[in-house]
């Protein structure tokens, strides 16, 4: 391919023409093949039975209990440019995995809603539109009513992209509506592979920082953090500093923040006239606060994100990221928190990448 390869899109280069090929995978075109969409036959008892082929005959796929569905299997080179998900999959029984270039291990492994900065999904598959929901209006991730999840992270690959969805529920089938939009084009030698890793610690041990990311080896750059934080004590809880240990840093980091709400772009506890105020912006947000209800919801929960799109954190050898759970006790003293914290770290690097920690089991993922 010569000329513009169609990657790295922004308003400044959008008028440029390219011979890159646009393709899209969904339940209506599971291979993404040219001229292969909307070919499913109408089910004899389905809503399109009088209209026939081409009239929304196969808008979603089902994933049986304990099964894993292959959503996409794309031969490269190319790049995923956007994704959309909806259905009865917005819960932590739905595990998204993406593997690049036939690696043995995934580079993305995450409960589906957490990947889209939605750590408190509370979706009941029997009533999928009920329960709390918080929109996300950011540049790379968008969560829209009612639980339509979108991402625009560019995800290049050279040989293959394999995307799967696991249903961990022991008895309920999941309905997955999805669209994976991608391009087939040349990928430059200096382009890294997208990674996303989920972690959760409940409770965080007293006096031990929470680890967002560790064990990353090689060259790359860190591009984002999304977090869920359930508070286990009274008073303000977000004094903790985020720290980035880069290329051999040991006891002391190269980058050190000044407070939890500071890292996510807020200030002074996010409090205005005695109330938390939520916000969602292109690069940062504290977009959800779930308050105790006086009966069965006993504690505060917060959801936050910070995208390093304009300020990626670059490393050449290794990277470790931690954040302190730190609040206040009496007499003006800090209190190391023991909260329920979960996170997704997002970054690019070259392959091969180090194995991820084992994802927690269903009990370890359950929101309590």
Q: Higher confidence at residue 298 or residue 265?
A: 265
Mean pLDDT score, 276-296: 95
pLDDT of residue 328: 96
Residue 1 pLDDT greater than 60, yes or no? no
Task: Tell how far CA 53 is from the center of its chain.
Answer: 35
pLDDT in tens, 35-59: 999 989 989 998 999 898 999 999 9
pLDDT band of 123, cuts 50, 70, 90: confident
Q: How many CA atoms lie within 13 A of 50 on its CB side?
A: 1
303 located within any domain: yes
pLDDT of residue 321: 98
pLDDT in tens, 321-363: 999 999 999 999 999 999 999 999 999 999 999 999 999 999 9
At 113, is the secondary structure helix, strand, or coil?
helix
CB 324: neighbour CB atoms within 10 A? 22
Structural domain boundaries, residue 74: 60-365
218 located within any domain: yes
81 located within any domain: yes
Read off the DSSP letter of residue 110: E
Q: Look at the chain and count its residues.
A: 368
pLDDT of residue 2: 61
* Residue 73 backbone phi and psi in degrees, to 5: -145, 95
Buried b (16+ CB within 10 A) or exposed e, 41-67: ebeeeeebeeeeeeeebbebbebeeee
- Residue closest to 228 by CA, chosen among 300, 297, 303, 278: 303
94 located within any domain: yes
Q: What Cα–Cα distance (Å) separates residue 161 from each residue in 53, 74, 117, 165, 317?
A: 29, 5, 22, 14, 25
Read off the DSSP letter of residue 124: B
Number of folded domains that form the chain: 1
How many angstroms separate the CA atoms of 26 and 11, rounded? 27
pLDDT of residue 120: 94
pLDDT of residue 345: 98
How many angstroms separate the CA atoms of 15 and 10, rounded? 10
Q: Find the helix or strand (DSSP H, E) in which 261 lies.
A: helix 260-263
Relative to beta strand 136-137, strand 193-201 is unpaired
pLDDT in tens, 96-122: 999 999 899 999 999 999 999 999 987
Mean pLDDT score, 301-315: 98
pLDDT band of 296, cuts 50, 70, 90: confident
- Within 8 A by CB and 6+ apart from 6, the residues are 18, 20, 183, 185
Residue 243 pLDDT greater than 60, yes or no? yes
- Within 8 A by CB and 6+ apart from 183, the residues are 6, 7, 20, 21, 22, 23, 78, 79, 81
16 located within any domain: no
305 located within any domain: yes
260 located within any domain: yes
Taking the chain, what is the end-to-end CA distance rounded to the nearest angstrom?
A: 52
229 located within any domain: yes
Share of the chain above pLDDT 90, in %: 90
Q: Are 329 and 335 in contact (CB under 8 A)?
A: yes
pLDDT band of 298, cuts 50, 70, 90: confident
- pLDDT, averaged across the chain: 95
pLDDT of residue 158: 98
pLDDT in tens, 185-231: 999 999 999 999 999 999 999 999 999 999 999 999 999 999 999 99
Kindly report the CATH number assigned to the domain that includes residue 304: 2.60.120.1390
How many angstroms separate the CA atoms of 112 and 118, rounded? 9
At 180, is the secondary structure helix, strand, or coil?
strand
């Amino acid at each position: 391919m010569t000329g513009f390869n169609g990657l790295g899109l922004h308003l400044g280069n959008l008028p440029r023409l390219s011979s890159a090929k646009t393709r899209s995978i969904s339940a209506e075109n599971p291979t993404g093949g040219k001229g292969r969409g909307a070919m499913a036959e109408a089910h004899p008892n389905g809503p399109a039975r009088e209209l026939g082929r081409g009239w929304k005959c196969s808008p979603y796929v089902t994933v049986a209990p304990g099964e894993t569905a292959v959503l996409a299997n794309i031969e490269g080179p190319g790049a995923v440019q956007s994704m959309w998900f909806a259905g009865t999959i917005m819960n932590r029984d739905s595990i998204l995995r993406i593997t690049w270039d036939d690696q043995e291990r995934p580079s993305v492994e995450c409960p589906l809603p957490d990947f889209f900065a939605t750590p408190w999904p509370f979706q009941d598959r029997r009533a999928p539109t009920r329960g709390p929901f918080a929109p996300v209006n950011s540049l790379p991730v968008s969560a829209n009513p009612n639980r339509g999840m979108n991402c625009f992270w560019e995800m290049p690959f050279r040989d293959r992209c394999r995307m799967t969805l696991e249903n961990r529920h022991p008895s309920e089938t999941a309905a997955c509506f999805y669209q994976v939009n991608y391009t087939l084009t040349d990928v430059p030698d200096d382009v890294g592979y997208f990674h996303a890793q989920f972690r959760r610690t409940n409770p965080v041990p007293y006096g031990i920082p929470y680890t967002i990311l560790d064990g990353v080896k090689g060259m790359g750059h860190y591009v984002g953090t999304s977090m869920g934080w359930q508070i286990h004590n009274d008073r303000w809880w977000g004094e903790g500093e985020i720290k980035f240990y880069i290329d051999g840093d040991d006891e002391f980091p190269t980058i050190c923040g000044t407070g939890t709400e500071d890292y996510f772009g807020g200030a002074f506890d996010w409090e205005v006239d005695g109330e938390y105020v939520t916000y969602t912006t292109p690069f940062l947000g504290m977009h959800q606060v779930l308050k105790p209800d006086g009966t069965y919801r006993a504690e505060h929960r917060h959801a936050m994100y910070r995208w390093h799109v304009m300020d990626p954190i670059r490393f050449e050898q290794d990277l470790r990221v931690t954040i302190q759970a730190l609040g206040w006790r009496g007499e003006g003293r800090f209190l190391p928190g023991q909260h329920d914290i979960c996170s997704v770290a997002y970054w690019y690097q070259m392959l091969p990448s180090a194995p991820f920690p084992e994802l927690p089991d269903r009990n370890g993922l359950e929101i309590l």
